[in-house]
Structure 1
Amino acid sequence: MTRHHDRAPRRRARLFAAALALSALSALGALGGAALAADPAASAAKPEGHDVSGHQKDVDWRAAKEKGAAFVYVKATESHTYRNPYFARQYNGSRDAGMVRGAYHFALPDRSSGARQAAYFVAGGGGWRADGWTLPPALDLENDPYSKRKCYGLPPTALTGWIDDFSDEVHRLTGRRPVIYTTAKWWDDCTGGSRVFAREHPLWLARWAGSPGALPAGWSFWTFWQYADGSGRLPGDQNLFNGSPEQLRAFTRE
């Protein structure tokens, strides 16, 4: 990831997740259970996308679309103090180019509460509406980029509580549970392998490799997979959606 500077809705989300899981398992069966090749985008008939932040500045969205980009996640905020100065141009520019887009928040759980950062995120561009073009808000959980402290110096119970508070506030403000971006190692180390979030939170897996590998505890499939950093064809990091183009569009409406 580019870094730094209601039951009815829940039931619909669970039904969509189940359908997507079955589709993913069917696709895997059709491939004989084989892992993806070294270039996942070349070997899998799945929508390609990317994620960007202020580091990418002004992006040529038309060119990205022509290279095959179907979706993009744009960094909106970090903690409760930083907003991507290029967010509006990136978020609106990708939509104008005909791409599905969403916003993500870079979490710093040691700086302020989950609810405070969620409110800051939604106010700074992390909203959602069922317009067929807007991906659910996403929460970026990874190693602290500003210190060497493991898991932000917080125990698993504190981190899972923080994630729960963030999710509840995003859900209250937008009607959607956030997508969770993380690695299997970070999740299992820092949440103690919590399995409680997988039911309602789609997984955005971070693993720069030729196959997804082991998933974080609780999840049986990934919805998005960030398989390469900024060295790919598209601006920012390289991603795949685990479904068809039609399922990607449906995911924006659930």
Structure 2
Amino acid sequence: MPVHRPGPIRPRRLFLVALLLTAFSLLHPAAASAAEVPEVPETPETTATPARGSAHMGMGVVAHDGQDGLPAGTRASQAEGVDVASYQGNVSWPTLWNSGVRWAYTKASEGTYYRNPYFSQQYTGSYDVGMIRGAYHFATPDTSSGATQADYFVDSGGGWYGDGRTLPGTLDIEWNPYGDACFGKSQSAMVTWIRDFLNQYKARTGRHAVIYTATNWWTQCTGNYGGFSANPLWIARYASTAGTLPAGWSTYTMWQYTSSGPTVGDHDRFNGALDRVQALAGG
């Protein structure tokens, strides 16, 4: 059977093809442009990572747990508090006091490489208007040991004073904004890191540090370890209730309930009236 072989494309045909393509591009410039420059989907490599030192309480809570509703009807029996960090700058503490806030925590440090430049204004300012105040440390377990970071925290203003108006320091342990959620650690290694921090803080100050965390993170990164119940729990959950607590705690001491309160800072409620806040400060 003879095989048909196509002949060469004639110049006239080439001219007609070129003419048709030119006409299409003039009539549909957007389609032509899209064909020339394909859209590149966003990848993790093109997503900006925050600068070291910029982390703060609850930074990953909205992203991982969401924010759904606010509590109602409990403020009279639960003292209102706020927590602040450097991104709030100089805080108007009289405004917060007049709104009903009676206790506050200020970020003091992160890892062993960052101290809050606004710490003095925020930590001392809250005290000066009459609030009961405390300091917190944003943990980065992938950069140094727990004991080393506890020392850095205490040396950065996170200690405790028996003046009746200073709360024990808080370990902020939550999603890593700079990389792997669990800072590259196994669940058992994370528990060891936390224990080392807590033991060193108690050795330096005589107080059990508060643990700030979210139940989902705690379950994922510690295996829902239940052995730290001697430490007060500060639970982060942006909803109408505090929800299920991490293992080992039957109740929370503090609850961060929103990142979008009516005034500056994340807003929190103490599990009790002002006298319970004073009791924790007094040791």
| Range of TM-score over shorter length | 0.7 to 0.9
Instruction: Tell which has more relative contact order, 1 or 2 (C-alpha 8 A, sep 6+).
Output: 1
Q: Secondary structure of 1:252's match? A: helix
Which residue pairs with 1:211 in the alignment? 241
| Residues 198-254 of structure 1: per-residue CA shift (max 9 Å, x gap) | 1x110000000111110011111000000000x212311010000121111111011
How far did residue 130 of structure 1 move? 1.8
Counterpart Cα distance in 2 of 1:188 and 1:209:
19
1:38, distance to aligned residue in structure 2 (A)? 4.7
Q: How many residues align?
A: 219
Deviations 1:150-201 (A, max 9, x none): 3111001111110111011110111111100000011111111111001x11
> In the alignment, residue 227 of structure 2 is paired with which amino acid?
V
Q: How far, CA to CA, are the matches of 1:184 and 1:3 in structure 2?
A: 23
Scaled by the length of structure 2, what TM-score is found?
Answer: 0.75
How do 1:1-254 and structure 2 match up within 5 A?
4=55, 38-40=69-71, 42-45=73-76, 46-147=78-179, 149-198=180-229, 200-229=230-259, 231-254=260-283
Q: Give me the whole-angstrom Cα distance separating, in 2, the residues matched to 1:66 and 1:39.
A: 21
Distance 2:128 2:138 in 1: 25
1:186 is paired with a residue whose SS is: helix
Equivalent position amino acid for 1:221 in 2: T
Which protein is bigger by CA-based radius of gyration? 2
- SS at 1:124's partner residue? helix
Q: Quote how far apart the aligned CAs of 1:132 are.
A: 1.1
**Distance verdict in 2 for CA 1:64–1:42, change over 3 Å:** farther
Paired residue for 1:34? none
Aligned equivalents of 1:150, 1:225: Cα separation in 2? 22
Report the CA distance shift for 1:137/1:195 in structure 2 as closer, same or farther (over 3 A): same
Cα distance in 2, alignment partners of residues 181 and 168 from structure 1: 16
Quote the sequence identity (%).
48
Paired amino acid for 1:60? S
Query: Which string of whole-angstrom CA distances, capped at 9 and with x for unpartnered residues, describes residues 65-89 of structure 1?
Result: 0000010010000000000000011
Deviations 1:100-131 (A, max 9, x none): 00000000001000011000000001000121
Paired residues of 1:49 and 1:240 also in contact (CA < 8 A): yes
Does the CA-based 8 Å contact 2:226-2:247 persist in structure 1?
Answer: yes
**Matched-pair contact (CA < 8 Å) for 1:56–1:235:** yes
Q: Distance in 1 between matches of 2:121 and 2:82?
A: 16
Deviation at 1:57, TM superposition (A): 0.6
Are 1:41 and 1:48, in contact at CA under 8 Å, matched by a contact in 2?
no
- Cα distance in 2 for partners of 1:47, 1:3 equals 28
Relative distance call for 1:41 and 1:125 in structure 2 (3 A) is farther
Match of 1:27 in 2: none
- What TM-score results when the alignment is normalised by the length of structure 1? 0.83
Matched letter for residue 196 of structure 1: G
Evaluate the alpha carbon distance shift between residue 41 and residue 130 of structure 1 in structure 2; reply closer, same or farther with a 3 A threshold: farther
Deviations 1:43-65 (CA, angstroms, capped at 9, x unpaired): 33210011000011100001100
Question: Match of 2:45?
Answer: none
> 2 CA distance for matches of 1:38 and 1:192?
28
Shift in Å, 1:40? 2.3
